[in-house]
Amino acid sequence: MKLWGRMLWALLSGSGKRGGTRGWASSSWQPRLPLAGLSATELVSHWTAVFEKRGIPEARESSEYIVAHVLGAKTFQSLRPALWTQPLTPWQLQCIEELSSCRLQRMPVQYILGEWDFQGLSLKMAPPVFIPRPETEELVEWVLEEVTQRSHVVGAQGGPLILEVGCGSGAISLSLLSQLPQSRVIAVDKGEAAICLTHENAQRLQLQDRIRIMPLDVTLEGSWAHFVPWGPMDLIVSNPPYVFHQDMEQLAPEIRSYEDPAALDGGEEGMDVITHILALASWLLKDSGSIFLEVDPRHPELIGSWLQSRPDLSLDLVAVRRDFCGR
């Protein structure tokens, strides 16, 4: 099948929008007697039981990440075997108890640890900036496939010029930059915390020279004018706010209490920001360009109908993929 005009791709996702050690210094602190002298393995079992009793999701995974983090590892399995059975120091026990207390308050593990891996990159995480989900890694992989298979997806400097709308922590933009050495990215977000975190992660990964990070609300009239100096885009990619407004109260406490609702709430039908991105494309996208969006399973039909009502945009919905959860 031959495809004409600009192309729109969509990655379906469920409400996956659903789903360094802090320096406490207190030489006088002593762990409560039941925890004194426990090993890493015993602490994981202890906190797993506590989390399960309190109804904390992914109880064992949470306790393993926290214990490993305090001991200087990313995962419990990557710890040196000798550390599994070695009694922890009072300071280590204190740190684990403090971090576990945060988890008992339903703070996401990513915020507790202050960092998280995405597409092999270690990114700083901080509330209330949206936490990238595994489903979004699939969106990045799909974009990479598109660039690899379509040789014309290149900009004037030999790599694609990419616009990310709603950059959050910078996970999507920085993953694409790291795997497409000639690419350039313009990343925008209306949240000040997100802009700051993307800057920080770009510098952390030494990718700041190929990314332009701008505070911008694409729902404002005339926002397209900010991009004119960079010329037409090869790709637009976004994991926009797409949760139906009536579904917001059903989100897990980890999301409702800590993540920015503006990064989640897509309005009555979850389409408020999506339609602005599509309209923006008519001003910014090359004729051969593509848009990649992560959306709710109900959105492809809604997007298709909306595009039919806007033939002036010259956009076609050409592909839909389900995520690894089958949504």
Domain stop point among 113, 129, 148: 113
Strand-pair category, 315-321 with 6-12: parallel
Give yes or no: residues 81 and 145 share one domain.
no
For residues 287 and 282, what is the distance between their CA atoms, to the nearest angstrom? 9
Give yes or no: residues 109 and 126 share one domain.
no
How confident is the model over 138-154, as pLDDT tens digits? 999 999 999 988 765 56
How confident is the model over 254-312, as pLDDT tens digits? 999 999 999 999 999 999 999 999 999 988 999 989 999 999 999 999 999 999 999 99
Inter-axis angle of helices 90-104 and 59-70, nearest 10:
140
Give yes or no: residues 59 and 134 share one domain.
no
Give yes or no: residues 317 and 173 share one domain.
yes
229-256 burial, b at 16+ Cβ within 10 Å, e below that, comes to eeeebbbbbbbbbbbbbebbeebeebbe
Q: Read off the pTM.
A: 0.89
Look at the chain and report how many structural domains it folds into.
2
How confident is the model over 214-227, as pLDDT tens digits? 999 999 998 888 88
Residue whose token pair is 């990070």: 213
Q: Residue 212 in 3-state DSSP?
A: strand
Strand-pair category, 161-165 with 184-189: parallel
Task: Residue 301: give the domain boundaries.
Answer: 6-18+116-321
Q: Residue 9 in 3-state DSSP?
A: strand
Dihedral (C-alpha) 303, 304, 309, 315: value to the nearest 10 degrees?
Answer: 90
Whether residue 292 contacts residue 142, with contact meaning beta carbons closer than 8 Å, is answered with yes
Residue whose token pair is 């992914």: 58
Domain stop point among 92, 113, 134: 113
Kindly report the backbone phi and psi dihedral angles of residue 11, in degrees, each rounded to the nearest multiple of 5, phi listed first: -110, 120
Q: What is the pLDDT of residue 169?
A: 99
How confident is the model over 178-230, as pLDDT tens digits? 999 999 999 999 999 999 999 999 999 999 999 999 999 999 998 888 888 88
How confident is the model over 7-28, as pLDDT tens digits? 566 655 555 554 433 333 333 3
Closest CA to 18 of 213, 307, 264: 264
Whether residue 265 contacts residue 209, with contact meaning beta carbons closer than 8 Å, is answered with no
What tokens were used for 148?
């690899």
How confident is the model over 85-121, as pLDDT tens digits? 999 999 999 999 999 999 999 999 999 999 999 999 9
Give yes or no: residues 155 and 47 share one domain.
no
Beta partners for residue 243, in sequence order:
265
Kindly report the backbone phi and psi dihedral angles of residue 276, in degrees, each rounded to the nearest multiple of 5, phi listed first: -70, -35
